[in-house]
Amino acid sequence: GNSVTQMEGPVTLSEEAFLTINCTYTATGYPSLFWYVQYPGEGLQLLLKATKADDKGSNKGFEATYRKETTSFHLEKGSVQVSDSAVYFCALSDQGNTGNQFYFGTGTSLTVIP
Amino acid sequence: GAGVSQSPSNKVTEKGKDVELRCDPISGHTALYWYRQRLGQGLEFLIYFQGNSAPDKSGLPSDRFSAERTGESVSTLTIQRTQQEDSAVYLCASSLTTYTQYFGPGTRLTVL
């Protein structure tokens, strides 16, 4: 079946530190992969996505590369800011028998301190 | 606006009462999803509608939970005889068949 496993948090970093949040997946087909972000008090919003192997999604300084050989989609940012403090969710979508289904990881909470 | 909307934004109810939560998806989106997010936890899939196909109800936690969708528009999630463990944020999302989900702001349900 399909599933997503992501690094457990919480993660606390100092401003300008390098960020990696690990995400691995299991899928029966050829999924698309996503990172969603949930800022405090707000709803989930798409951060970036990649739809096929070796694609790199990027947005707001964040990047993630779709690695089929390692079934991974790790989120990285070279220099985090206080405003990046949020919960990050890795997700995949796969075309199931009844349409497009989504599977989410449990979320990783990031706190960036000045 | 053109985003997913949900109502009410907050709902406080007493244990044993029924509640209805509403979701208005983005126009033209054929797929609609309901999730539950308990405090400090990840998203728990509840139910998925795709066009006129039978919904995927595999995530509904009990028969107290049900959902309907009228065509490719509004959806209502109903929780009967609410329990305290039903307290959570209920999120709705819509998408085109193979693309990204767009989430609504959620309904925060508190069962006293």
pLDDT per residue over A15-72, tens digit each?
999 999 999 999 887 889 999 999 988 888 999 999 999 999 999 999 999 999 999 9
> Using CB atoms, which residue from A34, A42, A99 is nearest to B100?
A34
For residue A91, list its beta bridge partners: A34, A104
CA distance B82 to A114: 43
Classify the phi-psi angles of B58: left when phi > 0, otherwise alpha if psi is within -120 to 50, otherwise beta: alpha
CB pairs < 8 Å spanning A and B: 60
Q: Say whether residue B43 is in contact with chain A using an 8 A CB cutoff.
A: yes
Q: Which residues of chain B carry a pLDDT beneath 50?
A: none
**Token representation of residue A42:** 């707000």
Whose structure tokens read 């709803």? A43
Closest approach of chain A CAs to the CA of B33, in angstroms? 9
> Using CB atoms, which residue from A32, A43, A98 is nearest to B53?
A98
pLDDT per residue over A72-82, tens digit each?
999 999 999 99
The torsion angle over the Cα atoms of residues A88, B55, B59 and A26, rounded to 10 degrees, is -60
**Token representation of residue B84:** 């305290």
- pLDDT surpasses 80 at A97: no
> Do the beta carbons of residue A7 and residue A22 sit within 8 Å?
yes
Per-residue model confidence (pLDDT) at position A100: 66
Q: Is A46 within 8 Å of B101 when comparing Cβ atoms? A: yes
Chain B residues in contact with A98 by the CB 8 A cut-off are: 48, 50, 53-54, 56
Per-residue model confidence (pLDDT) at position A96: 58
Residues 6+ apart with CB under 8 A from A92: A2, A4, A25, A27, A31, A32, A33, A34, A102, A103
For residue B49, list its beta bridge partners: B32
Per-residue model confidence (pLDDT) at position A26: 93
pLDDT per residue over B22-50, tens digit each?
999 999 898 999 999 988 777 888 999 98
B 53-112 residues with CB below 8 A of A?
53-54, 56, 91, 93, 95, 97-106
Q: In a 10 Å sphere around its CB, with 0-12 CB exposed, 13-18 middle and 19+ buried, how is residue A4 labelled?
A: buried
Chain B residues in contact with A103 by the CB 8 A cut-off are: 45
Per-residue model confidence (pLDDT) at position B53: 85
Residues 6+ apart with CB under 8 A from A68: A53, A54
**Token representation of residue B77:** 């999630």
- pLDDT surpasses 80 at A98: no
How many other C-beta atoms are found inside a 10 Å radius of the C-beta of residue A57?
A: 21
**Token representation of residue A101:** 């289904």
Chain A residues in contact with B30 by the CB 8 A cut-off are: 99
- pLDDT surpasses 90 at A8: no
